[in-house]
Amino acid sequence: MSRRSAFVITCLAFGYAFLYVPIASMVVYSFNASQLVTVWDHAHSPTLKWFGALLHDQEILGAAWISLKVAVANATGSVILGTLAGYGLARFPRFRGRFAFTAMTTAPLVMPEVITGLSLLLLFVTLEQTIGWPAGRGIGTMIIGHMTFSMAYVTVVVQSRLATFDRSVEEAAMDLGARPVKVFFVITLPIIFPAVLAGWLLAFTLSWDDLVISSFTAGPGSNTLPMVVFSMVRLGVNPEINALATLTITAVTILAVGATWLTARARRHAASAAA
């Protein structure tokens, strides 16, 4: 038994090193003064100059602003569609077209992005030709494209939350005369709210990071942050990107640790209230 534990622990150590060494290297090199990124400049490092350069790079800032608008709109739209879909799948075990619906909410999770992106673009072009909408491509078409795959993730999150939902509270509200819509907004939604919020953040992140679907559905002048980063990275390593990576990782870590801490605290409160 102990031999296997040693094996498993070795695998865990190796696996986590594999996951974190590249991330750590980016963070460390973002404080390197040398333009060559991976050659450490002992005389002038650590430095914050790449963070300064990043925050004065108009192209990056403009792209980040577009990405932010797309990500917020996408997350909000995806949460509405995904919560409806997740609720429908969790609560209605049988309805006509359920299998097709399940397939449609699952497929975007695994579909190669080049295929989704190409098909969305061809749809937009065809629609523009036949009914004149959408007139050209830009932020609007990108939001539609992002929502189509993001809502699938929200659906999974909401559906799995509802699978472990204690329905007696809803039934009690029904017995007291609340109509189904009221029960949903007053009882169900507040209880599943953490899952909905997690879905919103997930949809935001998916959109913020997306390169391929954005590239197909973007129009002239609506380059997102990943599109700008990709064209910079294609030309080689760039210290500004390391600074951007450090900022991203810091934000994600604060959010994730904060969310974990909040849920743990809520659970402790619930436990002490029950006792």
Site for another protein in 17-56 (CB under 8 A): 18-23, 25-26, 29, 36-39
Question: Which of 53, 68, 209, 219 touches another protein by CB under 8 A?
Answer: 209
Binding range to another protein, per CB under 8 A, among 57-65, 132-140, 185-193, 202-210: 202-210
Size, binding site for another protein by CB under 8 A: 96
E runs forming strands in the chain: none
Positions 158 through 187 that interact with another protein (CB under 8 A):
159, 163, 179-181
Total residues found in the chain within this entry: 275
**Nearer CB in complex with another protein: 20/193:** 20
Smallest gap, in angstroms, from Cβ of residue 47 to another protein? 17
Contacts of 186 (CB under 8 A, 6+ apart): 173, 178
**Nearer CB in complex with another protein: 69/91:** 91
**Nearer CB in complex with another protein: 73/241:** 241
Positions 233 through 272 that interact with another protein (CB under 8 A):
233-234, 237, 241-242, 244-245, 248-249, 252-253, 255-257, 260, 264
Question: Which of 50, 73, 208, 218 touches another protein by CB under 8 A?
Answer: 208
Best CA proximity match to 240, nearest among 110, 61, 65: 61
Instruction: List % helix, strand, coil for the chain (3-state, nearest 5).
Output: 80, 0, 20
Respond yes or no on whether the N-terminal peptide bond of residue 239 is cis (omega within 30° of 0).
no
**Nearer CB in complex with another protein: 8/48:** 8
Question: For another protein, what does the binding mask look like between residues 118 and 147, x meaning CB under 8 A?
Answer: xxx-xx-xx--x--------------xx-x
Question: Which of 74, 148, 188, 223 touches another protein by CB under 8 A?
Answer: 148
Q: Which residue has the tokens 């050209």?
A: 136
Backbone conformation region of residue 136, classed left if phi is above 0, alpha if psi is from -120 to 50, else beta: left
Yes or no: say if 120 and 148 are a contact pair by the CB < 8 Å rule.
Answer: yes
Pairwise CA distance, residues 175 & 48, whole Å = 62
Q: Which two tokens mark 30? A: 């973002």
Q: Which residue has the tokens 């990107």?
A: 241
Binding range to another protein, per CB under 8 A, among 54-62, 131-139, 185-193, 207-215: 207-215
Positions 59 through 118 that interact with another protein (CB under 8 A):
80-82, 84-85, 87-88, 92, 95, 97, 99, 101-116, 118
Yes or no: say if 227 and 213 are a contact pair by the CB < 8 Å rule.
Answer: no
Smallest gap, in angstroms, from Cβ of residue 174 to another protein? 8
Total Cβ atoms within 10 A of residue 65:
12
Yes or no: say if 48 and 239 are a contact pair by the CB < 8 Å rule.
Answer: no
Q: Which two tokens mark 126? A: 């065809």
Question: Which of 8, 186, 262, 266 touches another protein by CB under 8 A?
Answer: 8
Binding range to another protein, per CB under 8 A, among 52-60, 68-76, 186-194, 210-218: 210-218
